[in-house]
Structure formats: C-alpha cells, structure tokens
C-alpha cells in the first residue's frame, strides 16, 4: 500500500469518525480497523482523534490497539511481504528465508525501508502448508521459496515499483 499524506490521513480519520456519530467505547476496534483499512496503519493522530471521539484516554485506545497484533503503527512499504512461520514452513526452512529477507532489507518487521518500497511481517500460518516454505508478496502467493531467491524477488518487485 502506498503511503498517504498526513492531510489525506487526517481527512480519512475524520470521515471514519463522522460515520460513527454516536459511537461508544465498544465500537473502538471497529473504528480502528476502518481507519487502518483506509490509511494503511494507525497514526498518532488516529489514536488521539479516536480517543477524543469516544471520550477515552489516548493511552487506553493505544493499549487496546497494541494488544491485537492486527494493528500497525507505521506505514507499510509499497511491497509488503508476509513470511509464513507455521509448522510446515518452519520445517521446510522458512527461518532461513526470513533471515535472508531481514539481511537484505535491514528493517524491523512492519516497518518500511527508508525508500518506502519494502516491508515485511511474519505470520503464524498462511494456509499453504503443501507449498512450504511460502510467502505472500502484496497478496500474491510464492511457493517453495529458497533463501537464495530473495535477492531476485526483491529486484523483481523493485523494478515493478519503479516502472509505475
């Protein structure tokens, strides 16, 4: 997902909140999900705005958001890679694939590279056990990925981003 501007993000946050005029604290997760779906992540502004809208302390909003690992607090790269770490993928070498990716990108999970092109995360299972080790790149399944193939995959996707 491409990063959006702060101004556009603020407008989206306000639009989501306007769609929940009489929201109660029990709608917190739904509102956070909607904002993340539209903005790509939960910004500081999103946490503060939701807190004001629901008459909750921002620390409580942040506490709930950090409890669930579905929420992100940094924009993802234009190319987001998900590495399966389920049992089948683990046995077939997904740790080595992950290590190759971490070495190539030099960023923490769920954090975009400095140029904003790549980000990655690990998942417990993507349901492609027969194709282990498997990864998803922007929702596209890649099967039987070898650590040695990571540089070529990154080059392929960088070229696609640059071509746009």
Mean of pLDDT values over 6-22: 93
pLDDT tens column, 129-152: 999 999 999 999 999 999 999 999
pLDDT tens column, 96-135: 999 999 999 999 998 899 999 999 999 999 999 999 999 9
Length of the chain: 164
Confidence of residue 2 (pLDDT cuts 50, 70, 90): very low
- 137 three-state secondary structure: strand
Distance between start and end Cα atoms, the chain: 13
Separation between Cα atoms, residue 107 and residue 86, nearest integer Å:
22
Q: If you average pLDDT over every residue of the chain, what do you get? A: 94
- 65 three-state secondary structure: helix
CA torsion through residues 111, 147, 122, 79, sign: positive
What are the helix (H) ranges across 20-93?
Answer: 28-39, 44-54, 58-67, 87-91
DSSP state at residue 147: G
Per the model's pLDDT, the better-predicted residue between 7 and 18 turns out to be 18
């Amino acid at each position: 997902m491409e990063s959006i501007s702060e101004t556009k993000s603020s407008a989206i946050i306000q639009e989501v909140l306007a769609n929940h005029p009489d929201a109660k604290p029990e709608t917190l997760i739904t509102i956070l999900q909607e904002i993340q779906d539209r903005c790509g992540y939960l910004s500081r502004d999103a946490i503060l705005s939701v807190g004001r809208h629901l008459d909750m302390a921002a620390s409580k909003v942040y506490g709930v958001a950090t409890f669930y690992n579905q929420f992100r607090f940094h924009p993802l790269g234009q190319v987001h890679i998900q590495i399966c770490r389920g049992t089948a993928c683990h046995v077939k070498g997904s740790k080595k694939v992950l290590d190759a990716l971490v070495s190539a990108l030099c960023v923490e999970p769920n954090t975009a590279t400095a140029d904003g092109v790549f980000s990655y995360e690990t998942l417990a299972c993507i349901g492609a056990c027969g194709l282990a080790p498997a990864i998803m790149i922007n929702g596209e399944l890649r099967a039987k990925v070898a650590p040695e193939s990571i540089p070529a995959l990154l080059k392929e996707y960088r070229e696609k981003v640059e071509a746009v």
